Chain A
Amino acid sequence: DGGITQSPKYLFRKEGQNVTLSCEQNLNHDAMYWYRQDPGQGLRLIYYSQIVNDFQKGDIAEGYSVSREKKESFPLTVTSAQKNPTAFYLCASSMGAGARGDTQYFGPGTRLTVL
């Protein structure tokens, strides 16, 4: 079964702790994305990667970091510098490599709550 998996589904963090959200895809896609979703705010882009070992900041990258060491994996770390990290986090992937009007495929999401 091809798709995108995110783990864990629910994550609780104490203030001041870093936490890493996992995203894996077996669609052989080049491009991967991380979004943050808050109620009534739509999706906002945190980071994206169009190829292995390269990534770019999105609109709200402050307080987050990523790595792209393997094509199928794009983990997101929420650092203690992120002042309001409680949100629903969505990972997506697409064919990339200049694919025209590329469709992004989404994982099921991770809900992060800061206690």
Chain B
Amino acid sequence: AQSVTQLDSQVPVFEEAPVELRCNYSSSVSVYLFWYVQYPNQGLQLLLKYLSGSTLVKGINGFEAEFNKSQTSFHLRKPSVHISDTAEYFCAVSEKGGSEKLVFGKGTKLTVNP
């Protein structure tokens, strides 16, 4: 069975600073990896996903993530954050060749301060 660990439950940063949200996963098979964003009292929206190929994945709103197989990590980064990036971010994994069920981490709440 897969599992996902998001190492930080809360990350406060100042506007225009860089940010990294960390995600590690565990699985006995190859996986697909996802980052979703959730604004308060809303559903989730896909930021980016890794299926195969280049380990650096670019997503919406200037976010990117890098898949590191040896470290079983998929950290999310943005070089300069805005107030509007304040939200909760979820890392998720699904098994290749499996049922396409997603297993989510517990989330990281990013707060961007002026």
Contact = CB atoms under 8 A, between A and B. Distances in A.
Given A42-B105, A43-B104, A96-B100, A101 B32 contact: yes
Interface string B16-53: 00000000000000001010100001111110010100
Interface string B83-114: 00000001000101001111011110000000
**Interface size range on B against A:** 20 to 34
B72 interface: no
B101 A45 contact: yes
A107 B41 CA distance: 11
Contacts of A40: 9, 106-107
Contacts of A106: 36, 43-45
B49 A101 contact: yes
Interface in B51-103: 51, 90, 94, 96, 99-102
A108 interface: yes
Contacts of A94: 100
Nearest to B100: A102
A45 B104 CA distance: 9
A21 interface: no
Given A90-B44, A100-B51, A109-B42, A42 B107 contact: yes
Contacts of A111: 41
A90 B100 contact: no
The 9 A-B residue pairs with the shortest CB-CB distance, nearest first, are A106-B43, A42-B106, A101-B32, A101-B51, A106-B44, A42-B104, A43-B104, A102-B100, A108-B43
Interface of A: 4, 31, 33, 40-45, 48, 50, 56, 58, 90, 92, 94, 96, 99-109, 111
Interface of B: 9, 32, 34, 36, 41-46, 49, 51, 90, 94, 96, 99-102, 104-107
Given A100-B96, A102-B100, A104-B44, 13 more contacts: A33-B102, A40-B106, A40-B107, A41-B106, A42-B104, A42-B105, A43-B102, A50-B99, A58-B101, A94-B100, A101-B96, A109-B43, A111-B41
